Amino acid sequence: MNRLEEISASVVVHRSELADAEFRAAWRAWLEEHCDVQMLRPARRLAGAPLKAWLRKLNVHGWRAPGWPREHGGMGLSFAKQLIYREELERLGVTRWLDLGETLLGPMLMRHGTQEQKATLLPRILDCSDFWCQGYSEPNAGSDLASLRTTAVRDGDDFIVNGQKIWTTFVQDATHIFTLVRTGRYERRQQGISFLLIDIETPGITRRGIRNIAGDSEFGEVFFDDVRVPSSQLLGTLDEGWTIAKSLLEFERTSIGSPFLADLALKMLNSLAERCGIADDPVFAARMKGFASELDVARLLYADLCGRFVSGEKLDSEFSMMKLVSTELFQRTAEYAVEVLTPYQAGHHDQPTRVLFEELNHLYLISRPVTIFGGTSEVQRDIISRSLLAV
Amino acid sequence: MLLPDDQMVDDSELRLLGDSAEAFLAARASSGRLRAGGPALDPDIWAAMAEQGWLGMCLPEAQGGLGMDASAACVLTEAFGAALLPDPFIAMALMPSLLLAALPGAGDEIAAGIAAGERLVTVAWQEAAENLAPLPRDAVVERNGDHLVLRGRKVCVPAIASAGEWLVTAVLDGASALLRVDPALRGVEVEQVLLVDGTRMGAVSFAQVRLDETAVLARGDEVERATARMIAGGQLALAAQLYGIAKASLHISLRYMETRVQFGSAIARFQSLRHRAVDLKIGLELARAALRDARRPHGAGDQAISAAKASASEAAVATSRAGIQLHGAMGFSDEADIGLYHKAALTGAAWLGSARLHRTTSTQGRGRDRESA
Ligand SMILES: Cc1cc2nc3c(=O)[nH]c(=O)nc-3n(C[C@H](O)[C@H](O)[C@H](O)COP(=O)(O)OP(=O)(O)OC[C@H]3O[C@@H](n4cnc5c(N)ncnc54)[C@H](O)[C@@H]3O)c2cc1C
């Protein structure tokens, strides 16, 4: 351990044991000191080199992986403190980021990985030597993920992988991809799927970015052409990868339901409406009050669910419903914002207003897929309905 | 490519126009251009449109046109909307033509240039966002010795990046005047705004811009009447364009639902999606009824046009927005056309009065109609 790591390790121990209020103050102070303008654009999400630089910075300063236990190099925070961690990011309006290595793969490795997998892979996630993307979806396996066709066939000590993944977020930035591949055929389609960890530089892999409607190439596709993957890269039991992938990570469920983006859209709507001189229009003002009230109530439900979750209650469809509430409120707010404000975009404005309009258009466009990824709203409703109805 | 709606067109001349639009668009795909983010106006396409006689179709024959009205132009704009044609036909052909057609003798040379595709003209008339008053107030032109001086501002000037000259409404000696302004003149300042569909609109300021007396093309009440006629015609043609967008968005989404298989069947079999498709179809039918009413011969009232613009805007935005969701992740990718339709719908819905604005004018009007009946 070098000197820096020693210091940060001792700080981590300290932080998870702070009183909640002190923890909040410490995190807030750190963020206020370390977030420059680029890190204060909550409508945006980090990608590429700035993303990795930020994750490394968090790591060096002992603020990385709030939910990971300390034995694996995380902060070891209680659920309550993890919520505080996120609340402060949202309150300050910090640029968002996504690291599936930390939030999805890490916890699955801790639960299902071999000693060796844990020892080699976890530290490399933390210091960003490895950056992971998630290769589940395929051109013909979206909502119906179990119909996936990418195959892995055993050949001596290796698997030979053939097939294609698509919509893989951050495929261009990734060094590794965790995949679901078909290794066997059973009557239940969910069986015979295995969880395979693959180095993206392996010969036979090609990838291509796909531009989205907001103009970013965040996601993309990956082609596997006789790709040789050592069998030591299998996570968990052969043919049982589905259970690993579906063991939804407890804390992650809370994060998908946060009404933060709806709040952001409402703030942007408010501020632009003032700049365009329509904030006092009585019809508009009434709509704004309506959205604000809906957001308040969504927050109440969210706080209630988080509280029950922290005190150990098992919640399942509740968080799925929360996701519907938050994503659909976000979309409706962004839709209304674009509807009432776009006619004003080519009025006379100062530079900050012009930039705000571009941010609004971007926020609107990225509000489209929130009801598509992580289970479309239609499929979520189907699943929730099963917990309500006996037939 | 979708044919213009047959029920809309009961006139054989217009049907021919629809047929030629179909052939024209079938030979020219727009989505690639939109993705590449190039200029909205393609000189080759513009020249070909001039050759078809479309650019000046609403000019009288004396001014080099075909003497048709805005309702006839709807046959074209509906097809343009359905085919995502980005070239600014409404802004740079139809609206300046309607304006000059109502002011005979004023800018005949310009009119002929528009019809020939040789002069790229946009009209700067609007002075505040969501304000459709045809009367200039803020832009004022005054005499100063042997020349004129223009000051004031215009907003929401369409096709700002493509136009080489502007027709500007301004107050002159207490009355309305129409001026020809060269954007390169000293004192003209343009702020180009990038809209969500990749096209640009302008906010323009005039700071003591010096003009010759010849810049004044027309003056008096007739300018205001011509401007009002131009706005109404533009709204009607834009409503038809949005209707075309809505129709094509629904069409491609339904076809996608029929072919996309998940859980062993076409997603079109899932009831929640079928119901959604029906709701979209209802919105489209409402827009069609309103548009048909607004296109009736001998000119519709402003309320009918407002109802058409509002309904078509709502249908275009709703259908293309739902279309994205129905396409799943494919809908969020730039490789599917549905996102392009959605951006075109958002931009068209916001121009020449939003649905929000037109809903108020259309109901006020209907209320009055009933009272007087
Ligand atoms: C921005 C973004 C990022 C993504 N990142 C990743 C990633 O990193 N890794 C990864 O593996 N995947 C990723 N995905 C893919 C995502 O998981 C899929 O988009 C999702 O599972 C839906 O699948 P699909 O897109 O194929 O839509 P489809 O399943 O084809 O759905 C099309 C439409 O049909 C509806 N539908 C489908 N089934 C039913 C049903 N039974 N009843 C009613 N309606 C139904 C859907 O709701 C939708 O409206 C991402 C997607 C997006 C948009």
pLDDT in the model for residue A255: 75
For range B170-183, the mean pLDDT: 97
A23-80 pLDDT per residue, tens: 999 999 999 999 999 999 998 999 999 999 999 999 999 999 999 999 999 999 998 8
Interaxial angle between packed helices A282-310 and A79-92, expressed in degrees from 0 to 180 and rounded to the nearest 10: 160
**pLDDT, position B364:** 54
Q: Which residues of B touch A286 (CB under 8 A)?
A: none
Q: Is residue B166's pLDDT more than 60?
A: yes
Cα of A381 from ligand 1 centre, angstroms: 14
Closest approach atom of ligand 1 to CA A165? 11
Is A187 a catalytic site residue? Answer: no
B70 Cα–ligand 1 center, Å? 43
Question: Token digits for A43?
Answer: 């409508």
Banded model confidence at residue A362, pLDDT cuts 50, 70, 90: very high
| Percent of chain B scoring above 70 in pLDDT | 93
Chain A: which residues have CB within 8 Å of chain B?
A: 137, 140, 142-144, 147, 166-167, 210-213, 215, 219, 276, 335, 338-340, 342-349, 354, 357-358, 361, 364-365, 368-369, 371-373, 376-378, 381
A175-185 as b/e: b if 16+ CB within 10 A: bbbbbbbbbee
Q: In 3D, which of B318, B370, B350, B298 has the Cα closest to residue B126?
A: B350
Cβ neighbours of B351 in A, within 8 Å:
343
Q: What is the pLDDT of residue B373?
A: 34
Report the candidate in A255, A260, A322 with the shortest Cα–Cα distance to residue A91: A260
Question: Hey, what amino acid is at B332?
Answer: F
Measured from CB, residues less than 6 Å from any atom of ligand 1 are: A 133-137, 142-143, 167-169, 219, 369, 372-373, 376, 378-379, 382; B 260, 262-263, 267, 270, 272-273, 325-326, 328-329, 332
pLDDT bracket for residue B371 (50, 70, 90): very low
Residue B87: strand, helix, or coil: coil
**Predicted pLDDT at B8:** 53
Q: Yes or no: say if A153 and A160 are a contact pair by the CB < 8 Å rule.
A: yes
Phi, psi angle pair for B149, to nearest 5°: -130, 125
Can you tell me the mean pLDDT for A298-324?
90
Instruction: Indicate the residue of B128, B334, B346 with minimum beta-carbon distance to A338.
Output: B346
Quick one: pLDDT at residue A165? 98
Distance between CA A75 and CA A52 in Å, rounded?
A: 19
Q: How far is A318 from chain B (nearest CA, A)?
A: 21
Q: Is the pLDDT of residue B3 over 60?
A: no
pLDDT, one tens digit per residue, over A82-133 is 999 999 999 999 999 999 999 999 999 999 999 999 999 999 999 999 999 9
Report the DSSP beta bridge partners of residue B140: B151, B171
Give the model's pLDDT for residue A314. Answer: 86
Atom of ligand 1 nearest to the CA of B330: 25
pLDDT tens figures, B283-295: 999 999 999 999 9
Which residues of chain A have a CB within 8 Å of the CB of B343? 213
Q: Which amino acid is at A230?
A: P
Q: How far is CA B291 from CA A28, B15, B43, B355, B364, in A?
A: 56, 17, 31, 14, 18
- Pair type for strands B200-211 and B265-266: unpaired
Average pLDDT, chain A: 93
- Quote the tokens at residue B146: 């042997």
User: What confidence score (pLDDT) does residue B368 get?
Assistant: 44
Q: How far is the centre of ligand 1, averaged over its atoms, from the C-alpha of A126 (Å)?
A: 29
Please give the residue of chain B at the shortest CA–CA distance from A362. Answer: B196
Main-chain dihedrals φ then ψ at residue B191, nearest 5 degrees: -110, 110
Query: Helix H segments across chain B?
Result: 12-26, 31-36, 43-52, 70-83, 89, 95-101, 108-115, 221-259, 271-294, 302-326, 329-332, 338-350, 355-372
* Token representation of residue B28: 């020219």
**Residue A157 structure tokens:** 């000590």
Give residue B105's pLDDT band: very low, low, confident or very high (50, 70, 90).
confident
- Dihedral sign from CA coordinates of A102, A103, A105, A111: positive
Q: Residue B155: which of A166, A348, A377 has the nearest Cβ?
A: A348
Q: Examine the pLDDT at A7 and tell me if it is beyond 70.
A: no
A376 C-alpha to center of ligand 1: Å? 6
Length of chain A: 391
Q: Summarize pLDDT for B246-298 with one digit per residue, the tens.
A: 999 999 999 999 999 999 999 999 999 999 999 999 999 999 999 999 998 66
Q: How many helices (H) and strands (E) does chain A have?
A: 14, 8
| B301 confidence band (pLDDT: 50, 70, 90) | confident
pLDDT over 50 (residue B67): yes
Contact B254, B357 (CB under 8 A): no
Least confident of A4-8, A216-220, B82-86: A4-8
Q: What is the pLDDT of residues A183-203, one digit of tens each?
A: 999 999 999 999 999 999 999
B325 contacts on A by Cβ (under 8 Å): 368, 371-372, 376-377
| pLDDT band, residue B367 (cuts 50/70/90) | very low
| DSSP per-residue string spanning B131-155 | B---S--S-EEEEETTEEEEEEEEE
Please provide the average confidence, as pLDDT, over all residues in chain B: 93
Question: Distance (Å, rounded) from C-alpha A129 to C-alpha A73?
Answer: 14
DSSP for residue A255: H
pLDDT at B185 over 50: yes
What is the SS3 assignment for A96?
A: strand
Taking CA B167 as the corner, what is the angle to CA B163 and CA B171, rounded to the nearest 5 degrees?
Answer: 145
Of all residues in chain A, the percent with pLDDT exceeding 90 is 86
Q: Which residue of B has its CA nearest to A167?
A: B329
Q: What does the pLDDT read at residue B120?
A: 98
Section B326-351 average pLDDT: 98
Of the listed ranges A150-154, B146-150, B321-325, B365-369, the least confidently predicted one is B365-369
Q: Which of A342, A367, A382 to mutate to test the interface with B (most CBs of B within 10 A)?
A: A342
CA-to-CA dists, residue A170 to A196, A237, B283, angstroms? 18, 27, 38
The whole-number average pLDDT for the span A316-343 is: 95
Length of chain B: 373
Q: Considering the candidates A87, A90, A250, A252, report the single residue annotated as catalytic.
A: A252
Please tell me the least confidently modeled range out of B103-107, B115-119, B120-124, B202-206. Answer: B103-107
The secondary structure of B267-291 as a DSSP string is GGG-HHHHHHHHHHHHHHHHHHHHH
Can you tell me the distance from the alpha carbon of A272 to that of A278, in angstroms, rounded to the nearest whole number? 9
Protein residue closest via CA to atom 13 of ligand 1: A167
Check whether B2 has a pLDDT greater than 60.
Answer: no
Candidates B333, B341, B357, partner chain A, best to mutate (most A CBs within 10 A): B333
CA nearest A132: which of A181, A174, A89, A80?
Answer: A174
Q: Which of A100, A104, A167 to mutate to test the pocket of ligand 1 (most atoms within 8 A of CB)?
A: A167
Q: How close is the Cα of A220 to the center of ligand 1, in Å?
A: 14
Q: Are A270 and A262 in contact (CB under 8 A)?
A: no
Query: Is the per-residue pLDDT at B137 higher than 80?
Result: yes
Give the separation between CA B300 and CA B309, rounded to whole angstroms. 13
Residue B42: band (very low, low, confident or very high) from pLDDT cuts 50, 70, 90: very high
pLDDT band for B13, please (50, 70, 90 cuts): confident
In sequence order, the 6+-apart residues with CB closer than 8 A to the CB of A121 are A105, A109, A113, A130, A197
Distance CA B357, CA B347 (A): 15
Q: What is the pLDDT of residue A4?
A: 59
Tell me the CA–centroid distance for residue A374 and ligand 1, in Å: 8
pLDDT of residue A257: 87
pLDDT at A289 over 50: yes
CB-CB neighbors (< 8 A) of B332 in chain A: 212-213, 368-369, 372
